Amino acid sequence: MKLSNGFLRLFFAFSLFPVKPVSAARAHHGSDTPPGDRMDGLSDSRRRQSRCHQNQQPAANRRSLRALIEDLSSAHTAVLGKLRHFDALGVAMVAWASFLSLCFLSAAFCQPARSSLAVLAGGVEAGEDAPAVSQDYKFLPGDFVYFTFEVGGFSSDTDPKTETRKIALTYELVPEDMSGIALTAPVKGEIKEELHPEDKNWMPKRRASFLLPSFLAAGDYRIHVYVQDGISKAETTADFPFRIGGVQIKTSRSITVENFRFLRSEEDSEPLAVPAYSPGDTVYVRFDMTGYKFNLGNAYRLAYGLTVIGPDGKPFIEQPHAAELQSSSFYPAHYVPGNLDLTTKKDSPAGAYTLVLTVHDLIGNTAYEIKRAFSLER
């Protein structure tokens, strides 16, 4: 079958016929929408959305859309009538082109509009009204985290007499770990304002602060923001990252000890490279327990004891029940710190000693033992 150039033009839906005005424009007091409004409908997402909601669209616009589709359908039908001398394949191709044209029109006029509601100018701060922290800044467990943000793209109800606009927004802020678990209780609020014509560029700004948990491991965290527009019912969310330094913890499925260290004094933070003391010194030991189980309310219950083996291989110090710790918190504690202060005597024998530390998870009913060596030297 030989196809003419005119037949190939059938695949271009809007090349079949010129789109003519359905009726006079509003400037001539007609009852239908002018063709200019239909062309706006192909480019303006908000007007497209209004045409998708029959209860809100003017009758004139609905008639214009129906008329345009009917004109297109009639034109394609006329072309089909002129192509009766083609075989079934040619007619099917023309019908397919008509179907694609109608689908294009439906998508163009009924594509939903996207909300412009957005969280703007959000910043994580180390102090109230302080500049936003850099990406490398690290908070510490127990610190306060401050946050500010603005909201743009909100809707309003306008009073035609006074030209004032009322807005109604609600928001919720919560610091989270990267799994979406809240570190603290969320901060919630409302923004209800009455705006005047001179406030056309005004945007609401809000502040909040959060106290970080004490036993929080170092890593990446975020502040999650949720905003809802009470007028348009639009919603939006945004995440603002921040970092926490301090204690590094590895994930464990059962109780274990990490960051075991000998210290020279109680105030030291750096461990001794060589744990050597003199007789009569106090041996300071610090460690972190992790991997334990929780009860309701993120409650934990731990205990630990120790035995120190002297140079002669006999117990030098024995404290099987050195401490028991239990507590609960809003956010599950990543670790619980433990400490031991062992005071030696001036006549303690010099030599190598072994500290045996045993920690117990009283909820998970498991235990873990760790051995570390130190020495007393004269």
Q: Write down the pLDDT at residue 170.
A: 98
Tokens for 213, please give them: 């948990």
Q: Are 69 and 108 in contact (CB under 8 A)?
A: no
Question: What's the pLDDT at 71?
Answer: 63
pLDDT tens, 321-339? 999 999 999 999 999 999 9
Do 145 and 175 meet the contact criterion of CB atoms below 8 Å apart?
yes
Query: What pLDDT does 34 receive?
Result: 38
- Pair (104, 123) in one structural domain: no
Mean pLDDT across the stretch 190-201? 92
Average pLDDT (347-373) is 98
Residues 272 and 354 in one domain: yes
Q: Exposed (0-12), middle (13-18) or buried (19+): which is 333, by Cβ within 10 Å? A: buried
Q: Would residue 250 count as lying in a domain?
A: no
The pLDDT assigned to 112 comes to 46
Q: Looking at the structure, do residues 359 and 298 belong to the same domain, yes or no?
A: yes
Quick one: 360 and 260 in the same domain? Answer: yes
Does residue 331 lie within any of the structural domains? yes
Q: Write down the mean pLDDT value for the chain.
A: 81
Q: What is the pLDDT of residue 138?
A: 98
Residues 350 and 276: their CA atoms lie apart, in Å, by 10
In a domain, 249, yes or no: no
- Give burial (CB, 10 Å; 0-12/13-18/19+) of 174: buried
Examine the domain organization and report whether 127 and 221 are in the same domain: yes
Structure-token match 């905003």, residue found: 227
pLDDT of residue 312: 96
Say which range, 13-27, 170-184, 217-231, 249-263, has the weakest mean pLDDT. 13-27
Place of tokens 């609600």: 170
Residue where a domain terminates, one of 79, 110, 141: 110
pLDDT for 64: 52
Instruction: Report which of 126, 104, 111 is spatially closest to residue 48, judged by C-alpha positions.
Output: 111
Six-digit token pair at 119? Answer: 């969280």
Residue-range definition of the domain harbouring residue 326: 256-376
pLDDT in tens, 261-320: 999 999 998 999 999 999 999 999 999 999 999 999 999 999 999 999 999 999 999 999
CATH number of domain containing 228 = 2.60.40.3880
The percent of residues in the chain predicted with pLDDT above 90, rounded, is: 66
Pair (240, 122) in one structural domain:
yes
User: Is 260 contained in some domain?
Assistant: yes
Res 200: pLDDT = 86
**How many domains, in total, are found in the chain?**
3
- Of 192, 221, 244, which residue sits at a domain end? 244
The per-type count for the chain, helices as H runs and strands as E runs, is 5, 17
Summarised one tens digit per residue, pLDDT across range 8-59 is 454 444 444 444 444 444 443 333 333 334 334 333 444 344 433 434 444 4
Helix axes 59-82, 88-110, angle to 10 degrees: 170
Domain annotation covers residue 333? yes
Whether residue 216 is contained in a domain is answered as yes
Looking at 219, 244, 269, the residue that finishes a domain is: 244
126 neighbors 209 (Cβ within 8 angstroms): no
Does the structure show a pLDDT above 70 at 76? no
Domain match, 240 and 124 both: yes
The one-character DSSP state at 3 is: P
Helix (H, G, I), strand (E, B) or coil at 36: helix
Q: By the 8 A CB rule, do 370 and 255 touch?
A: no
Residues 238 and 336 in one domain: no
Q: What does the pLDDT read at residue 73?
A: 57
Do both 173 and 205 map to the same domain?
yes
- Residue 141 sits in the same domain as residue 61: no
- Helical spans, DSSP H, in the chain: 5-8, 35-43, 45-52, 59-82, 88-110
Convert 92-108 to b/e letters by CB count within 10 Å (16 or more is b).
ebbeebbeebeeebeee
Q: 7: pLDDT confidence band, cut at 50, 70 and 90?
A: very low
Tens of pLDDT, residues 93-145 = 555 555 555 555 455 445 444 569 999 999 999 999 999 999 999 999 999 99
Q: What pLDDT score was predicted for residue 75?
A: 57
When computed from its CA atoms, the radius of gyration of the chain, rounded to whole angstroms, is: 37
Q: What is the pLDDT of residue 88?
A: 55
Whether residue 337 sits in one domain with residue 287:
yes
Q: Are 156 and 269 in the same domain?
A: no
Q: Percent of the chain at pLDDT above 70?
A: 70
